Chains A and B, each alone.
Chain A
Amino acid sequence: MHNNVKENHLISGFFVFFLIFATQSGIGGLASPNFIFTYSGQDAWISVLIMGLSLHIIIWMIYKMLGNPVKDVIDLHKMIFGRFLGSSLSLLMISYYFLSALYVFRTYIDIVQEWVFPNIRTWELALLFICLISYLVCGGFRVLTGLALFATITGLLLFLLVYFPINLGNLSHLMPVWNHSIPELLQASKASYGIFIGFEALLVYFPFIRFKDKQTKWAHLGMLTNTVQFVAITISSLLYYSPGLLQRTLYPLLGITKIIEFDFIERIEFIFIFCWLIMFIPSLCISIWCCTRILKRVTHLQPRTSLVFVLAIFFLVVVQINEKYKVGALGDFTVQVGLYFVYVYIPLLFILYWIRSKRKAKLNVA
């Protein structure tokens, strides 16, 4: 199977770092990490670390599966499951990416409505963002990569704000270390998957990378940076809030930014929330782009038309999710589905691929 992406659309492997960093928008870390703290208290950072490190294995698996020869997940499905079943599985994946985009989108709108503009209506914000998304996705994958670059820069700058809670915090909140049993830590890790969701778009944009074998390091580096970032944020939340308060706060990270005060600006949290827009838009756009790309690869539908279609359905669904508990339920559901996808489905694919390629090798030899 040859690489069916034109040469001038390829990006160099270095950009995978930014892509992985940006697609993991970490909206789970912003919105509802208090499950992590309920299960593992002051060792929450260990849970996040475990989750982050275990995802490296998944990335290794993905690179192995899609690497030689370069293909994307649709080709992989066709190879393993045959044409008909493979195509239907790919179409099912569209719904996965759709769900992931929906989760990020609705959660962000929810945060804006809660903290900044209580009176604004969901459909207004949704319409506005959909205009933005359609303009950005129409630019193609290179534009999305550029956005990922800017998102990473903004993310790393915003990360410097973590100095403040560490300054005001109390080191004794972290102790005693490792006071929880392994099952509790793993339960918290499961809950923390919401932070890392989003990187599975790698399955779809893989052929766009100018691939050389040693370029896997960029993906791992991106994942590692993200893990380190979120471990630091978790630690700073732990330092800043006492354990009892942490379990009751719904948005710890935003609460931290409430207390930062400079001479010329009083409340940083608005700026923080608005800069977060730069950080989560690439994740959203890439997920939507994945949907249209899968549609194009499987059904040969033109991406421009399918984009209109996808966005229309997107808008209708988003507007339906009106109430707070629905948003929470959406979040939980997405995290569950994501966990199964990443920890069950991808290893399954890997094993099947392994068997397949071994069989092929035997056939070729014989």
Chain B
Amino acid sequence: MKKYVSLLLVCFLIPGCAKQEIIDRIKIVQSIGLDVQGDTYKSSISYASYDKKKRLDPITAEALTLPGVWLPQNTKSDDQVVLGQVRTIVISEKLARKSISDLAVNLLRDPTISNNAAIVISKPEISTVISKTFRDPPFYLAGLIKQNMEKGNTPLTNAHYVLDQFYGDGQDVYVPVLNLDENGLIFMDGLGVFKDDKLRLFLTEKESLLLKLLKDKPKSMTGSYEFKWKNDEAVYFRVLHGRRKILFEQNDHVTISLKLYLQIKGLPKNKNYDNKSNLLELEQDIKQHLTNEIEVMLKKFQMNDVDPIGFGEIFRSNHRNWNEQEFKKDTYSKLYFEVNPEIVILYSGVGVSAQ
């Protein structure tokens, strides 16, 4: 048994058995920005920096292939650049319109990128956005996106979902969109929906909430919504949680029943929150409004031939012999949607407004 001791001691003499990545001597990348110009891929990397004294610049790279630009060469950095904690991957609109299949293949094969990373499209230039993230505390962008997914109007999506939707049949990819406002702050600006691997159409903030209601799990069906009621009065409510069921009646008839639990935040001034008939009327109106909006959005999807809600997937799970091509060509455009939301107003505040 002495042999194992000596063997083990020999092992200790081997210097640098595994490559060391000492935590304060590496550059921990927090977001990658990808762009394409013609045939060249460009990337811009922002890293988390806790040392106030060092200069903060994004590291840029150019290459002919996406993997070449994914982990940039360390020619521009004094420490090793590592991708283990990447939280956001920002792609430019140009790249999205060209194709994301390279990106998907890269994500699939890389074991170091966490599946929790968020993929977003950015409307303004990549370099602006990435250098903006340097001014903010580390992982600000990741926190912004995550917070919006949990409590705001963005549906839950991350690298895993994107890959899932990309390779899955009967489901199209949708990805949040970033934009810069006039003060230079980054904000979430709706969604981008892909057809196969190319960007097809943009959705507004409101539509992205509707998509969230149709797609997300019950606990994360949250968001805030406002619309103009009759007489040009505005109503603002928050969705707390909800339930959803999508059923197929006959071959072309799809029923979507939603049950939403709301918290009314903003009512027109002359309405009383406590009045029962007021609230019922409000419920009816919200119901009507939502039904209209959702049906309009679904028709828009049909016209553009995209399926981010995944009706193809739901069809596949109900029919034995399902063919993706057939579905896309024939059935999808002929689907007739019937939306039945049911609204439950849970809370409307702890005070009584005047009157």
Check A131–B8 contact: CB distance below 8 A: yes
B18 CB contact (under 8 Å) in A117, A176, A241, A308: A117
Give the segment of A76-84, A242-250, A349-357 that binds chain B: A242-250
Are A258 and B167 interface neighbours, CB within 8 A? no
Q: How many Å from the CB of B67 to the closest CB on chain A?
A: 15
Could you say which of B11, B116, B171, B217 contacts A124, with CB atoms under 8 Å apart?
A: B11
Q: Are A172 and B169 in contact (CB under 8 A)?
A: no
Assembled-state Cα–Cα distance A138/B160 (Å): 45
| Chain B neighbourhood of A131, CB < 8 A | 4, 7-8, 11
CB neighbours of B164 from chain A (8 A): 241-242, 245
Instruction: Tell me whether A135 is interfacial, beta carbon within 8 Å.
Output: yes
Q: How far is the CA of A128 from the CA of B320 in the complex (A)?
A: 52
Query: Do the beta carbons of A267 and B114 come within 8 Å of each other?
Result: yes
Residue B68 CB within 8 A of the other chain? no
Contacting A at CB under 8 A, from B98-151, are 108, 111, 114-116
* Closest-CB distance, A68 to chain B (whole angstroms): 38
The answer, yes or no, to whether B313 is at the interface (CB within 8 Å) is yes
CB nearest to A257 among chain B residues: B115
Contacts of A135 in B (CB 8 A): 1, 4
Residues of A within 8 A of B166 (CB): 245
Number of CB contacts from chain A to chain B under 8 A: 82
A window 87-144: CB within 8 A of B: 114-115, 117-120, 124, 127-128, 130-131, 134-135, 138
- CB-CB under 8 A from B316, the residues of chain A are 172
Q: How far is the CB of A101 from chain B (nearest CB, A)?
A: 18
- Write the B40-70 contact mask toward A (1 if CB under 8 angstroms, else 0): 0000000000000000000000000000000
Count residues of chain A with CB under 8 A from any CB of chain B.
Answer: 37
- With A176-B319, A266-B85 known as contacts, the answer to whether A117 contacts B4 (CB < 8 A) is no
Asked whether any CB of chain A lies closer than 8 Å to the CB of B349, the reply is no
Say which residue of A128, A170, A172, A259 sits within 8 Å of B11 (CB atoms). A128
A69 at interface, CB cutoff 8 A: no
Choose one: A115, A124, A173; the contact of B14 (CB below 8 Å).
A124
* Interface range, B side: 35 or more
- B268 in the interface (beta carbon within 8 A): no
Report chain B residues within 8 Å CB of A258.
Answer: 114-116, 160
B313 touching A242 by the CB < 8 A rule?
yes
Instruction: Give B197 Cβ to nearest chain A Cβ, in Å.
Output: 13
In the complex, which residues of chain A have a beta carbon less than 8 angstroms from the beta carbon of B169?
Answer: 242-244
Contacts A114-B111, A242-B164, A259-B116 given; does A119 touch B19 at CB 8 Å? yes
B303 on interface, CB distance cutoff 8 Å: no
Please determine whether A259 and B313 come into contact, CB atoms closer than 8 angstroms: no
A261 touches B317 (CB 8 A): no
Our pick among A138, A168, A172, A255 for the contact of B317 (Cβ within 8 Å) is A172
Residues of B close to A248: CB separation below 8 A: 108, 167
Instruction: Check if B320 sits within 8 Å of A118, measured CB to CB.
Output: no
- Do B317 and A259 touch across chains, with their CB atoms under 8 A apart? no
Whether A242 touches B115, Cβ cut-off 8 Å, given contacts A124-B17, A135-B4, A172-B313, is: no
Nearest CB of B to A26, in Å: 20
* Distance in angstroms between the alpha carbons of A119 and B21 in the assembled complex: 12
Interface digits, B62-100 against A, CB 8 Å rule (1 contact, 0 not)?
A: 000000000000000000000011000000000000000
- Interface contact B320-A179, CB-CB below 8 Å: yes
Tell whether, in the assembled complex, residue B18 and residue A249 are in contact, meaning their CB atoms are under 8 Å apart: no
Closest beta carbon of chain A to B230's beta carbon, Å: 39
Give every chain A residue within 8 A of B319 (Cβ-Cβ). 176
| Interface assignment of A175: CB less than 8 Å from any CB of chain B | yes
Task: Report if A243-B17 is in contact (Cβ < 8 Å); known contacts: A172-B314, A173-B317.
Answer: no
B4 near A242: Cβ-Cβ < 8 Å: no
Interface residues of B in 1-32 (CB under 8 A from A): 1, 3-4, 7-8, 11, 14, 17-19
How many Å from the CB of A359 to the closest CB on chain B? Answer: 47
Mark contacts of B218-234 with chain A using CB atoms, 8 A cut-off: 1 yes-contact digit, 0 otherwise.
Answer: 00000000000000000
User: For residues 167 through 191 of chain B, which have their beta carbon under 8 Å from a beta carbon of chain A?
Assistant: 167-169, 171
**Is B335 an interface residue, CB under 8 A from the partner?**
no
Tell me which residues across on chain B come within 8 A of A249, comparing CB atoms.
Answer: 108
With a cutoff of 8 Å between Cβ atoms, the chain B residues found around residue A267 in the complex are 84, 114
**How many Å from the CB of A86 to the closest CB on chain B?**
33
Additional A-B contacts beyond A114-B111, A176-B318 (12; CB < 8 A): A115-B111, A118-B19, A124-B14, A172-B313, A172-B314, A175-B317, A242-B164, A244-B169, A245-B167, A249-B108, A254-B111, A258-B114
Listed by A's residue number, 13 A-B pairs whose Cβ atoms lie within 8 Å are: A115-B111, A117-B19, A124-B11, A131-B7, A131-B8, A135-B4, A170-B313, A175-B318, A241-B164, A242-B168, A242-B313, A245-B168, A266-B85
In order of increasing CB-CB distance, the 3 nearest A-B pairs are A242-B168, A175-B317, A244-B167
